[in-house]
């Protein structure tokens, strides 16, 4: 994820909050630096764009992003007038969030935009292949190296993409029905799995219940062959 925000008092806590939700955030305080990164081939899952930047007009930057890449853009700004919203969306922004905002709302909007996105990084057609027989994992044509527990966790979620798997079921099947260790180990493995898959939104958190693999990510036979 690319965060374009010149106010460090906003950027710093936002980076920490998004990191807790499993997102990897690259921050730039100027529009020029962010645009250079995208033009150089950076391919973030989403761009969070402040309009009040010190070097370029945020609307011009939004237009430039859209001309350069199909990465989803969410405008995050204090400018909340209807005219500003309309201009931002007409220039190609996928969503428009007005400051101040709640982190939960922003995360929900990020995930919704990512799901709707037709970009390569979020193509819903069988990006992920999990082979239980060989214990191989391939994502977008590249092999992903996982620990045994990470593989078992991913294979369980891939059995039924889109279906919620409770924390207790995961602990019972991936660890042990009589597991008495800290349940935090599950969160640590989920975080590591998201990092290795390169997209936090692939494994979705269902608060108070458990986790699920985003529907449409894994191929139909990913859970078979056991």
Percent pLDDT > 90 in the chain is 35
State residue 146's pLDDT score.
92
Domain shared by 12 and 99, yes or no: yes
Please state whether beta strands 165-166 and 210-213 pair in parallel, antiparallel, or not at all (unpaired). antiparallel
Residue closest to 40 by CA, chosen among 48, 51, 52, 28: 28
Domain shared by 138 and 27, yes or no: no
User: What is the mean pLDDT of the segment spanning 63-88?
Assistant: 89
175-222 pLDDT per residue, tens:
877 666 666 788 889 988 988 888 777 888 888 889 988 876 766 344
The total number of structural domains that make up the chain: 2
| Cα dihedral 168, 171, 172, 174 sign | positive
Residue closest to 210 by CA, chosen among 160, 148, 137: 160
Domain shared by 114 and 177, yes or no: no
CB neighbourhood size of 178 (10 A)? 7
Question: Which tokens in the block code for residue 85?
Answer: 């919203």
CB neighbourhood size of 219 (10 A)? 18
Domain shared by 113 and 166, yes or no: no
Please state whether beta strands 47-49 and 2-4 pair in parallel, antiparallel, or not at all (unpaired). parallel
State residue 70's pLDDT score.
81
Q: Are 61 and 36 in contact (CB under 8 A)?
A: no
C-alpha to C-alpha distance for 208 and 196, rounded to whole angstroms: 24
Give Dmax (Cα) for the chain: 59
Q: Are 202 and 153 in contact (CB under 8 A)?
A: no
Residue 221 resides in a domain:
no
Domain shared by 39 and 77, yes or no: yes
How far, CA to CA in Å, does 27 sit from each of 16, 39, 60, 68, 124?
11, 16, 19, 19, 27
User: What is the mean pLDDT of the segment spanning 50-67?
Assistant: 92
State residue 92's pLDDT score.
85
> For residue 4, what are the β-bridge partners?
28, 49
Domain shared by 6 and 94, yes or no: yes
Percent pLDDT > 70 in the chain is 88
Domain shared by 41 and 117, yes or no: yes
Residue 223 resides in a domain:
no
Domain shared by 147 and 112, yes or no: no
- The CA-based angle 125-127-129, given to 5 degrees, is 120
Domain shared by 69 and 36, yes or no: yes
What secondary structure does DSSP assign to 9-39, as a single string? HHHHHHHHHHHHTT---EEESSHHHHHHHHH
Residue closest to 152 by CA, chosen among 126, 176, 124: 176
Q: What domain range is 74 assigned to? A: 2-122
In this prediction, residue 22 has a pLDDT band, given cuts at 50, 70 and 90, of: confident
């Amino acid at each position: 994820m690319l965060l374009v925000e010149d106010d460090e008092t906003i950027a710093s806590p936002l980076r920490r909050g998004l990191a807790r939700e499993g997102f990897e955030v690259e921050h730039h305080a100027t529009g020029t630096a962010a645009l250079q990164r995208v033009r150089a081939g950076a391919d973030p899952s989403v761009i969070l764009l402040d309009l009040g930047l010190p070097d370029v007009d945020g609307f011009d930057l939004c237009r430039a992003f859209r001309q350069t890449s199909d990465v989803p853009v969410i405008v995050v700004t204090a400018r909340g007038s209807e005219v500003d919203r309309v201009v931002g969306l007409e220039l190609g922004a996928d969503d428009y969030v007005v400051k101040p905002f709640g982190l939960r709302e922003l995360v929900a909007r990020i995930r919704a935009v990512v799901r709707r996105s037709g970009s390569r990084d979020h193509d819903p057609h069988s990006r992920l292949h999990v082979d239980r027989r060989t214990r191989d994992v391939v994502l977008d044509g590249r092999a992903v190296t996982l620990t045994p527990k990470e593989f078992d966790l991913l294979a369980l979620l891939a059995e039924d993409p889109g279906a919620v798997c409770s924390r207790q079921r995961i602990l019972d099947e991936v660890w042990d029905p009589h597991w008495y260790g800290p349940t935090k180990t599950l969160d640590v493995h989920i975080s590591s799995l998201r990092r290795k898959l390169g997209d936090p939104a692939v494994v979705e958190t269902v608060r108070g219940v458990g986790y699920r693999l985003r529907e449409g990510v894994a191929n139909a036979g990913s859970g078979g062959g056991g």
